[in-house]
Structure 1
């Protein structure tokens, strides 16, 4: 248990202390994902790879240079008026506080009794402190310490050294980006070798698919966020907010952080609007600008461009933003979404990194059948019904039973066989499954509303005759029989459910078929149980010569081995059971011999 925590701690320390090297490399990789489609477009015009890469990098550098120049110019203009803006915001905050105190009176620190005497004593104390300070200042001789004037070399150093760090980062990013774009095919081959060259086809498809998806997603997101920043820039310019270009660029950058990026980007313009405008109308207009533009882009434009899902769960987005901000600061906040998405895509294609896809991806960690089994194992029938309601929005109840409930119960039987679950837990699983089936019995499929209005025996089904359903002797067979009875009723059959005691003839009750010609014995039958049910079916057909007995369903979906492969002759789904009933009815109607079920 300590090994994963130790590895995680080492990786976190490596990311933190190596950020000066890792940040430029990560920026270069992301920039290469952005520029790869551009290079491909340029190469289609007939240019070789080298000039195409150089031209694409020059376009990126020009864009970065223009953006940096706008930020510097806008920030310098804003910094000159920043003290005045801060003072106005403080005055407005004081007025708001005074208004709240006047209306509600819960923020004042004064007590009702003795308030005037306390204020007088406080004023006397402050006056005494001012007098003492004045006398002290008159007696003290002021002394001022000044540093010697800087030499020409020191002045150059103070200007050049702070500028070297960002220039060094930009240079590293540009060089690594160029090499990545030049060596794209070679890097892909090396990654395939790391993934394992034994399955070149699957590894190649995985890498190409992941790289293509990432490139398209990052490029689409880049243009969408740039469009968002331009709209905010223009809107703030029309409203008269100082330095609109700065806020527009920050809005575009912060929008790479989903959910909270736009909120953080709106805080600065709203504060400046409150400082510029004596009232609150300008700040309200700025807030409305963000509230209108963000939903339109987030819920209308983005789904049309690159789908509704980013591939990340909402919780993982927030956790990733906190983690990368803690590791790399503000640049980590901007890079949190792309970095996490890269890890998830890598986890979907490389088994060694599957941990990231499971923990951070938006795909369900369990299949629907496994989820149903987990809910039934815990006795949470309500949660199973909630899952069913979601799945039934896109499928029929029969499909849900065939693809989710039946495989889930098969998983339970398999766990009992291999000793992972106590046999005593099967009763609780069966009860939870039956409770779920009862709550879903009246569900109407989405396509059932188009049925003919004169059909009354089921959702679009005609009367098919009468069937008697018995559960087998297994601990889950009662749920299987209930499920089969519901589906047969939906097919138009009149179903009478009987207890397994009457099947064995216990209690002195005499089995009366009435008008029924078909007897169904339903449960999860392995080869041995199926062999026993075959003998029971033979006895029933000898006793009721005009009836046919159908046994289903098989416990395993794969062909079984043992006891003359009886399991392979059993229906494996409820659709197979319905088909067997139809064949038996046709055989009875034509006067044929016995039905081999």
Structure 2
């Protein structure tokens, strides 16, 4: 147990400090798993794997680039208007600030007392922070490098076909181990590709519906909020809440009356409830339903480890872990914990208990 704990802590340490390398590799594998069924479908129709992989990767890059180009104008405009938007939101919420004004004033007084209590000969050292432009340039370069590694590696994985799987199988010596490894690999591919494709299509549909609904309500820049809703919905629970808060903030400064301003966030809440409670469970099915506690822990952990990208891939990685655990008896308890429904044994015990109670009552 001690060695296992040391190994886990060392692995977390390595994942944190090697995130610039490991993160695009993980993203590439997830993207390749999602697009593999399409490549195989096209292969059955006579298209070579290298050609179909290249077309799919180029289409993905083109779609993301086109969306970024068309949305860059409204996003830049929102960024430029951020100070004015903040002042207008503050003015609309001024009634809610009165209970906290005394607390804010007291904190300012404490800061003044702390500053005046310093010795007269002591110099204060302030570390110079990098400018906004340099930070933005660094983030842009890092994001471009991550995207390049992700798409190029996913292209190689898709174009190689089953070569990667063959290498995994060849690493085992016994025939039973080869069969088991191949079964696990194909199950992971099937489940994660089905999950990612399904969730991506559902989120895209949710974004379109929200964009059209906000456009009908007269909300400015409805396409931006539709794309934001589709992207943030990959974050369980937190993404939907963030979308509602953003839309509510913009709605407060866009409409004159408070009652009409609440229509936009109410519409977003309704769409998220329908998607989360009806559409996704019906389409995805119960096989890949994950325990809400496990989802929350995974999102919190990966967001701390890799930021926003880590939060996006937390649930797909959790699905992969669950599929692995379902193939090993020694890890069945972990798979049962990750599952959102009761295990088969517990269901049988509950059924026997209900039957015995019914017999006793009779």
Tell me if 1:299 matches 2:292: no
CA RMSD of aligned residues (A): 3.0
Give the Å deviation of 1:64: 1.3
Tell me if 1:214 matches 2:133: no
Counterpart for residue 164 of structure 2: 187
Counterpart for residue 441 of structure 1: 360
In 2, the alpha carbon distance for the partners of 1:48 and 1:271 equals: 50
Unaligned runs of 5+ in 1: 102-106, 111-156, 373-386, 398-436, 444-597
Structure of higher CA gyration radius: 1
Counterpart for residue 168 of structure 1: 145
Counterpart for residue 83 of structure 1: 83
SS in 2 for 1:47: coil
Counterpart for residue 335 of structure 1: 313
Residue-by-residue CA offset, 1:344-369 (whole Å, 9 max, x unaligned) = 11222356866752543346468239
Aligned positions of 1:60-99 closer than 5 A: 60-98=60-98
Counterpart for residue 257 of structure 1: 235
Counterpart for residue 114 of structure 2: none
Preserved CA contact (<8 Å) 1:195 1:350: no
Counterpart for residue 32 of structure 1: 32
168 and 60 in structure 1: CA distance in 2 versus 1, 3 angstrom threshold: same
210 and 239 in structure 1: CA distance in 2 versus 1, 3 angstrom threshold: same
Aligned positions of 1:510-589 closer than 5 A: none
9 and 226 in structure 1: CA distance in 2 versus 1, 3 angstrom threshold: same
158 and 308 in structure 1: CA distance in 2 versus 1, 3 angstrom threshold: closer
More helix by share: 2
In 2, the alpha carbon distance for the partners of 1:108 and 1:174 equals: 51
In 1, the alpha carbon distance for the partners of 2:163 and 2:336 equals: 29
Preserved CA contact (<8 Å) 1:220 1:305: yes
441 and 170 in structure 1: CA distance in 2 versus 1, 3 angstrom threshold: same
SS in 2 for 1:367: helix
SS in 2 for 1:242: coil
55 and 83 in structure 1: CA distance in 2 versus 1, 3 angstrom threshold: same
Counterpart for residue 237 of structure 1: 215
Give the Å deviation of 1:81: 1.8
In 1, the alpha carbon distance for the partners of 2:329 and 2:26 equals: 22
Tell me if 1:314 matches 2:233: no
In 2, the alpha carbon distance for the partners of 1:161 and 1:292 equals: 39
In 1, the alpha carbon distance for the partners of 2:209 and 2:172 equals: 44
In 2, the alpha carbon distance for the partners of 1:49 and 1:350 equals: 32
Counterpart for residue 120 of structure 1: none
- Which residue, out of 180, 185, 198, partners 1:202? 180
Unaligned runs of 5+ in 2: 104-133
More strand by share: 1
93 and 364 in structure 1: CA distance in 2 versus 1, 3 angstrom threshold: same
Preserved CA contact (<8 Å) 1:74 1:245: no
Preserved CA contact (<8 Å) 1:49 1:182: yes
Counterpart for residue 152 of structure 1: none
162 and 12 in structure 1: CA distance in 2 versus 1, 3 angstrom threshold: closer
Preserved CA contact (<8 Å) 1:251 1:265: yes
Q: TM-score, normalised by structure 1?
A: 0.51
Preserved CA contact (<8 Å) 2:50 2:160: no
Q: TM-score, normalised by structure 2?
A: 0.81
Residue-by-residue CA offset, 1:513-547 (whole Å, 9 max, x unaligned) = xxxxxxxxxxxxxxxxxxxxxxxxxxxxxxxxxxx
298 and 33 in structure 1: CA distance in 2 versus 1, 3 angstrom threshold: same
Give the Å deviation of 1:310: 2.8
Counterpart for residue 466 of structure 1: none
Give the Å deviation of 1:193: 4.2
Counterpart for residue 49 of structure 1: 49
Counterpart for residue 154 of structure 2: 177
Preserved CA contact (<8 Å) 2:206 2:230: yes
Give the Å deviation of 1:266: 1.4
183 and 351 in structure 1: CA distance in 2 versus 1, 3 angstrom threshold: farther
Give the Å deviation of 1:388: 4.5
Preserved CA contact (<8 Å) 2:225 2:247: yes
